[in-house]
Amino acid sequence: MSKKHSVLFICLGNICRSPIAEAVFLRLLKEKKQEQNWDVDSAAMGDWHLGLGPNERTVVTLKKFGITDYKHIVRQIKPQDFERFDYIFGMDHQNMSDLEGIKPKNCHAKTVLLGEYDPQKELIIVDPYFGNDMKDFDKVYEQCCRCCEGFFNAVTGS
């Protein structure tokens, strides 16, 4: 039995981008019949929404694209995550800077921008929270689909 892979998706509040990425990646794993080989989670950099669910627009977006079974409670990243996970993905440069600021020396996790796996080379996944257009959430969803597929293929050699 090979070692489980593990991935943590991070964004500012864990109510928009990182839950979308987590839900997309979980669906991808289910489609590829690989759920048992992965440990997947998401978390916030900040503590504003702890204990709550995803933003309503996140839920609407996921349902629009057929993800109806996603359950999520906001949590904040903790030091143990840097040992538990192989990869910790940020969505933008601020996330990456924040991660580097709390990352323990010689930790196990590799911190990476999720957009580095986008075949269309859109490096940054912009926070849709402050926008008032659902198209911003659709764009996050589409970017996460491309990035998660690219990451999965890179790790598994698919």
| Residues 7, 38 contacting (CB under 8 angstroms) | yes
Whether 27 sits among the annotated catalytic residues: the reply is no
Taking CA 120 as the corner, what is the angle to CA 114 and CA 124, rounded to the nearest 5 degrees?
40
Helices 56-64 & 17-31 angle (0-180, nearest 10): 30
Among 118, 90, 116, smallest CA distance to 103 is for: 90
Catalytic option among 11, 144, 145, 148: 11
Continuous segment of H or E residues that includes residue 14: none
| Amino acid (one-letter) located at 12 | L
Whether 127 sits among the annotated catalytic residues: the reply is yes
Catalytic option among 16, 17, 41, 146: 17
Catalytic option among 81, 92, 118, 127: 127
Whether 17 sits among the annotated catalytic residues: the reply is yes
- Catalytic residue numbers, as ranges: 11, 17, 127
